[in-house]
Amino acid sequence: MRALNRKLLRDLATLRGQAAAITLVIASGVMTLIIAVTTLDALSLTQQRFYADYQFADVFAELQRAPDHLAGRLVQIPGVNQVETRVQAAVRLEVPDFADPVRAQLLSIPDGRQPALNQLHLREGRLPDPARDDEVVVSDAFAEAHGLRAGAELRAIIRGRLTPLRVSGVVLSPEFVYQIAPTDLLPDYERYAILWMNRRALASSYGMEGAFNNVVLSLQAGATEAPVIDHLDRILDRYGGTGAYGRDDQPSHRFLHEELNQLRAQAVILPTVFLAVSAFLLNVVMSRIIRSQREQIAVLKAFGYRNGDMAWHYGALTGLIVALGCMLGIGLGAWAASGLAGIYMEYFRFPQISFRLQPGVVLLAVAVAAGAALLGTLNAVWRAVRLPPAQGMRPEAPARFRKGWLERSILRDGLSQPARIVLRNLTRHPVKSALSVLGIAMSVGLLVMGTYQLQAVDHLIDTQYRLVQRMDLHLTFSDPTPARVQAELRHQPGVLAVETYRTVPVRLVSGHRDYRTAILGMDEQPVLRQLLDGRQQPQRLPSEGLLLTDYLARDLGLRVGDPVRVEIQEGHRRTVEVPLVGVVDEPLGVSAYMHRPALNRLMREGPAVSGAWLVIDAGQQQALFDRLWTLAGVASIGLIGEAEANIREYMGDTVLMFALIFVLLAGSIAFAVVYNNARIAFAERARELATLQVLGYSRAQVSGILIGEILLLTLVALPVGWLFGTAFAFALNQAFSMDLFRLPFVITPRAYGTATAVVLAASVVAGLGVVRRLHRLDKISVLKAVE
Amino acid sequence: MVVSAQGSSAGPDDRVGEPRPRTFAARIFQARGLTKTYRMGEVEIHALQGVDLDLYAGELVVMLGASGSGKSTLLNILGGLDTASSGSVQYRDQDLTHASDPALTQFRRDHVGFVFQFYNLIASLTAVENVAIVTDISRNPMPPEQALALVGLQPRLEHFPSQLSGGEQQRVAIARAIAKQPAVLLCDEPTGALDSKTGIQVLEALEHVNRTLETTVVIITHNAVIGEMADRVIRLRDGRVETIHTNAQRRAPGELRW
């Protein structure tokens, strides 16, 4: 079949523009699939290996203080495999040549050796020498952010005492794959550190000799978590336990888990959209090719080519396009996925990422792409095969046209002949026209969705940092402090405004659902930390009752007026019922809010606060920091500007990069659909258009027919596309709603406008392309040849 | 003699004593009572309304008739491109009337060469590749170059259809049709799209094939002058055979003028 194969390659070369457009769309689909599945695979595999190799614990608990011998009782709990008790301390760090406040979590490890659970991966140096009290190992992200190597020196303020520390090594831990400070939403490697120190040394400087305040457990194979947690809680209750929790509530694991879920959703949604569009494009193009090669097919069959040969021939044409698309997509996908794995490594601290391009994933991508192509071309190829040769040889019967209802009713008199041609062409093939509209609308929708994503993230950050968090500094105190500290803070240098708050860790329970968070007790009308209602207006705190982030209220299945069971996890742990009196609309994080005096009453305490928010004069920042560090009880100082910068960077790295790629891909789809439509419209009408020119129509008039058809389809598609886009954006909005952040469902006119402009631009470029062809059309030869 | 009467069973014996330039050993096609009705858009067309016809090995037949007389339909049915609505067609011992699609495909592949009015070359293939596309699937083909040499196109082997004149394209089509060494060459208006000078070159090529390869050649045309180069001239009218005329002497295509 050598000559037939040569025809195949030459056909492909002739169709290169259209074939390239389809190839790109297929490549996009395959690429998104490869990226999502490979990244998902890499992250889960890496996670599993790290957890298994370094004995990641299953259950975690914090408490005030329990004697070491209690460990013997804990290991007796049915289902428990191993127990590791620890001392943990929240401390302040001073890093040489770094002015900003640094918070740290200091954890103990058995003197001079690895713990049984949550073992450390030494990236550099060694574990602390059991003979020395001042050695620590530090988390690698923190070390990296400050360029700390083994031998570096730090100072920590442990229980108010300045303690010099020496770094003996740099480590990674399965417990801190995602390293985030307790009140933060995103990692800040410069300002938050995790340090490990010998048990004896830490216990002595923290006043925990012979005792522990943190314990982690591993479960026996097949054991269930819930009874172990209950049992553990009962034992730890009298030691000030704040409620044990499983991996699902362990912050690092939870974030990683959320990320994997997002990837899983992405692995389905994006490739489906792209491959559906490519199936549609292949259908349009293959139908057209086969129609234009009617006679060739007839001739080949006349000479004795079999149906199977024809099916193979046109199937192979599709196959080549699909193969090219797959190769491109796999290449780009593997490249992008390994790049993305690098970005993930920045946020998820693993010893190394186990990136691999599995043959199974490649096969899956090829199978899905081929399946879509098959769906798209089956019908067209089948028609080619079935065409009786004699019929193929006869010119096609003049297509049946009728006056559509539109023409008979509204437009009865007002139409020119060219307008009639446009209208009848479109109404003659209602299915084809509808599919074209659908294709264009799909790309409009994708563009709306992409732009929405970009703008929603901006909107989210603006809302959070312009409307919700309006302070410059965020102070936390090591213990509840009398409320009069507010006046003291107000008189510090450069402080322009102060508001204080009380925060209490709680477990909120509703039915069988529960959520661990903190209740923030605030002024009646907080200004520096506003609570927004559904219309983004600040709301007042009622003197009694609880407010919840609306996402959390929905998640717990609570409505305003419902009682909420609140398990207080601090001090004398009590369980109380508080009515839900309102919801708060906020894009980042989830929380619970109360009027501070009400929270103080709930805690059976006087007017106490846990922290403060400050607005400061930036010029006096350094002087203020120096003063604040000398104040007893200040546990941490958070810079809100830094947090905003961090979150913008994080969003820029991940969400925005995805969105940008997305807008580019959607733009290419728009162009591919419109261009293919225009080329086909041109090919089908070449004879008609040449005839009109011979009859005396000007080029402009004839071009008008062609452009008119493209334009009409595009105009009909635009509103449909806006609807699609709104629906896509809503789906995305739902998929991206989680504890960490929620994209606001706000589609600006600009999103619709951008999508419209891109698609119109694609239409104009495609239209100009075919008009150029029209001008080059040899009218005589077109007229002489049979169609 | 005139073999036309409806229902007559024409055979080699009927031609005894006829003045002929050559003798035809065997009857290869026998059509009886052929009718064909098809729809074209919203119109029903009765293309054939009862045709009886025999064709013999090695003869050159010209079929004349106005547009719509049923010539092309008849040719398509003989060539296995189409099936009759009623009646029967036989090729040698093979009944084509009720042949399946694969059987008809095999029949065309093995025995029939087609030449069309508009050449129907594949634009993306060169002259020699357009011939090769048939020799690729033939049992006993001649080399494509030889087929093109037979029609005088040796110097144009590597040209694409768009680089060839109409006459040259039609000669490529003839080369394509004869390259598989078919028993019968069916030509539908092979000169219809050509000027007379080029048309005569094409007819010379057909005559040459008929003479040297002894291929049965059927030429459909509405140009009565071409009938003078034939052994027999069959006239169709309104889907029926009107007359069959046997020429005493075939004239060389070069002597024809129109």
pLDDT digits (tens, 9 = 90+) for A205-216: 999 999 999 999
Identify which of B76, B120, B124 has the shortest CB distance to residue A299. B120
At which residue do the structure tokens 């879920």 appear?
A261
Torsional class of B54: left (φ above 0), alpha (ψ -120 to 50), beta (otherwise): beta
3-class state of residue A189 by DSSP: coil
For residue B107, the chain A residue with the least C-alpha distance is A304
Q: What count of other Cβ atoms lies within 10 Å of the Cβ of residue A694?
A: 12
Alpha-carbon gap, residue A89 to A107, rounded angstroms = 7
Asked if B125 and A296 come within 8 Å (Cβ–Cβ), the reply is no
pLDDT exceeds 70 at position B3: no
Which of A47-56, A389-398, A738-747 shows the lowest mean pLDDT across its residues?
A389-398
Q: What is the pTM of this model?
A: 0.70
Alpha-carbon gap, residue B209 to A64, rounded angstroms = 108
Alpha-carbon gap, residue B64 to B223, rounded angstroms = 7
> For B148-204, how does the pLDDT look when each residue is reduced to its tens digit (9 = 90+)?
998 888 898 989 888 898 889 988 988 998 898 899 999 988 888 788 888 898 899
Asked if B81 and A389 come within 8 Å (Cβ–Cβ), the reply is yes
For position A265, what pLDDT does the model report?
A: 74
Alpha-carbon gap, residue A293 to A256, rounded angstroms = 54
Predicted confidence band of residue B11 (pLDDT cuts 50, 70, 90): very low
CA of B93 vs chain A CAs: smallest distance (Å):
19
For position A328, what pLDDT does the model report?
A: 92
Q: What count of other Cβ atoms lies within 10 Å of the Cβ of residue A447?
A: 30
Q: Provide the H-helix boundaries in A541-581.
A: 550-555
Residue of B76, B124, B139 to mutate, testing the A interface (most A Cβ within 10 Å of its Cβ): B124
Average pLDDT for chain A: 84
Alpha-carbon gap, residue A767 to A706, rounded angstroms = 8
For position B8, what pLDDT does the model report?
A: 40
For residue A12, the chain B residue with the least C-alpha distance is B124
Identify which of A3, A295, A298 has the shortest CB distance to residue B125. A3
Q: What ipTM goes with this model?
A: 0.71
Which residues of chain B does A785 touch, with a Cβ-Cβ cutoff of 8 Å? Answer: 118
CA of A1 vs chain B CAs: smallest distance (Å):
6
Alpha-carbon gap, residue B125 to B176, rounded angstroms = 12
Q: In this structure, are residues A443 and A670 in contact, taking their beta carbons and an 8 Å threshold?
A: yes
For position A403, what pLDDT does the model report?
A: 61
Asked if B176 and A300 come within 8 Å (Cβ–Cβ), the reply is no
Chain A contacts to B (CB-CB under 8 A):
1-4, 6-7, 10-11, 14, 295-296, 298-307, 309, 388-391, 393-394, 397-398, 400, 784-786
Which residues of chain B does A398 touch, with a Cβ-Cβ cutoff of 8 Å? Answer: 41
For position A348, what pLDDT does the model report?
A: 86
For position A701, what pLDDT does the model report?
A: 76
Torsional class of B219: left (φ above 0), alpha (ψ -120 to 50), beta (otherwise): beta
For the four alpha carbons of A76, A80, A86 and A89, in that order, the dihedral sign comes to: negative
Asked if A302 and B81 come within 8 Å (Cβ–Cβ), the reply is yes
Q: What count of other Cβ atoms lies within 10 Å of the Cβ of residue A335?
A: 13
> For B106-126, how does the pLDDT look when each residue is reduced to its tens digit (9 = 90+)?
898 889 998 888 787 887 788
Q: Let me know how many helices (H) and strands (E) chain A has, helices first.
A: 23, 20
> For A285-304, how does the pLDDT look when each residue is reduced to its tens digit (9 = 90+)?
777 777 777 778 888 888 88
For residue B109, the chain A residue with the least C-alpha distance is A304
Identify which of A2, A309, A785 has the shortest CB distance to residue B132. A2
Tokens read off for B78: 């003989």
Which residues of chain B does A391 touch, with a Cβ-Cβ cutoff of 8 Å? Answer: 82
> For A322-358, how does the pLDDT look when each residue is reduced to its tens digit (9 = 90+)?
899 999 999 988 888 888 777 777 778 888 877 777 8
Asked if A303 and B101 come within 8 Å (Cβ–Cβ), the reply is no
For position B210, what pLDDT does the model report?
A: 93
Alpha-carbon gap, residue A519 to A564, rounded angstroms = 12
Which residues of chain A does B34 touch, with a Cβ-Cβ cutoff of 8 Å? Answer: none
For position A413, what pLDDT does the model report?
A: 60
Residue of B137, B145, B180, B185 to mutate, testing the A interface (most A Cβ within 10 Å of its Cβ): B137
Identify which of A7, A304, A307 has the shortest CB distance to residue B122. A7
| % of chain A beyond a pLDDT of 90 | 32
Check CB contact of B82 with chain A, cutoff 8 Å: yes
> For A232-281, how does the pLDDT look when each residue is reduced to its tens digit (9 = 90+)?
989 998 898 878 899 988 989 988 888 888 777 777 777 777 777 777 77
3-class state of residue A54 by DSSP: coil
> For B192-243, how does the pLDDT look when each residue is reduced to its tens digit (9 = 90+)?
878 888 889 889 989 998 999 899 999 999 899 999 999 999 999 999 999 9
Asked if B120 and A305 come within 8 Å (Cβ–Cβ), the reply is no
Identify which of B81, B109, B124 has the shortest CB distance to residue A10. B124
Q: Provide the H-helix boundaries in A191-293.
A: 199-206, 225-236, 251-292
Which residues of chain B does A2 touch, with a Cβ-Cβ cutoff of 8 Å? Answer: 132, 136
Asked if A296 and B108 come within 8 Å (Cβ–Cβ), the reply is no
CA of B122 vs chain A CAs: smallest distance (Å):
6
DSSP codes of every residue in B32-69 = EEEEEEEEETTEEEEEEEEEEEEEETT-EEEEE--TTS
| % of chain B beyond a pLDDT of 90 | 43
Asked if B129 and A3 come within 8 Å (Cβ–Cβ), the reply is yes
Check CB contact of B106 with chain A, cutoff 8 Å: yes
Q: What count of other Cβ atoms lies within 10 Å of the Cβ of residue A630?
A: 8
pLDDT exceeds 70 at position A412: no
pLDDT exceeds 80 at position A694: no
CA of B236 vs chain A CAs: smallest distance (Å):
19
A195 closest CA partner among A47, A265, A94, A97: A94
Q: What count of other Cβ atoms lies within 10 Å of the Cβ of residue A224?
A: 10
Average pLDDT for chain B: 85
> For A579-597, how does the pLDDT look when each residue is reduced to its tens digit (9 = 90+)?
999 999 888 888 899 999 9
Tokens read off for A531: 């609570």
Asked if A299 and B110 come within 8 Å (Cβ–Cβ), the reply is no
Asked if A7 and B124 come within 8 Å (Cβ–Cβ), the reply is yes
pLDDT exceeds 60 at position B22: no
For position B101, what pLDDT does the model report?
A: 82
Longest dimension (CA), chain B: 51
Alpha-carbon gap, residue B2 to A133, rounded angstroms = 125
- The DSSP symbol for A652 reads I
Identify which of A14, A300, A398 has the shortest CB distance to residue B124. A14
Alpha-carbon gap, residue A301 to A90, rounded angstroms = 83
Residue of B100, B105, B110, B188 to mutate, testing the A interface (most A Cβ within 10 Å of its Cβ): B105
For position A97, what pLDDT does the model report?
A: 86
A644 burial (CB, 10 Å; 0-12 / 13-18 / 19+) is: middle
For residue B40, the chain A residue with the least C-alpha distance is A397
For position A776, what pLDDT does the model report?
A: 76
Tell me, what amino acid is at A240? G
Asked if B79 and A14 come within 8 Å (Cβ–Cβ), the reply is no
Domains, chain B, in order of start with CATH, read 58-83+100-255 (3.40.50.300)
Asked if A300 and B133 come within 8 Å (Cβ–Cβ), the reply is yes
pLDDT exceeds 50 at position B132: yes
Check CB contact of B95 with chain A, cutoff 8 Å: no
Alpha-carbon gap, residue A9 to A338, rounded angstroms = 34
> Rounded to the nearest 5 degrees, what angle is found at the Cα of A529, between the Cα atoms of A526 and A531?
75
Residue of B112, B136, B148 to mutate, testing the A interface (most A Cβ within 10 Å of its Cβ): B136
Q: In this structure, are residues A505 and A240 in contact, taking their beta carbons and an 8 Å threshold?
A: no
- The DSSP symbol for B30 reads E
For the four alpha carbons of A207, A213, A214 and A215, in that order, the dihedral sign comes to: positive
A493 backbone dihedrals φ, ψ, rounded to 5°: -60, 135
pLDDT exceeds 50 at position B105: yes
Identify which of A10, A301, A389 has the shortest CB distance to residue B125. A10
CA of A280 vs chain B CAs: smallest distance (Å):
26
For residue B185, the chain A residue with the least C-alpha distance is A303
pLDDT exceeds 70 at position A60: yes
Asked if B105 and A1 come within 8 Å (Cβ–Cβ), the reply is no
Alpha-carbon gap, residue B5 to B33, rounded angstroms = 11
> Rounded to the nearest 5 degrees, what angle is found at the Cα of A719, between the Cα atoms of A716 and A724?
120
Residue of A303, A386, A428 to mutate, testing the B interface (most B Cβ within 10 Å of its Cβ): A303
For residue A389, the chain B residue with the least C-alpha distance is B81
> For B37-77, how does the pLDDT look when each residue is reduced to its tens digit (9 = 90+)?
987 777 888 999 999 999 999 999 999 998 888 888 899 89
Asked if A397 and B40 come within 8 Å (Cβ–Cβ), the reply is yes
| % of chain A beyond a pLDDT of 70 | 93
Mean pLDDT of A634-658: 77
Q: Where are the domains of chain A?
A: 57-255, 429-469+642-787, 495-616
Alpha-carbon gap, residue A497 to A616, rounded angstroms = 7
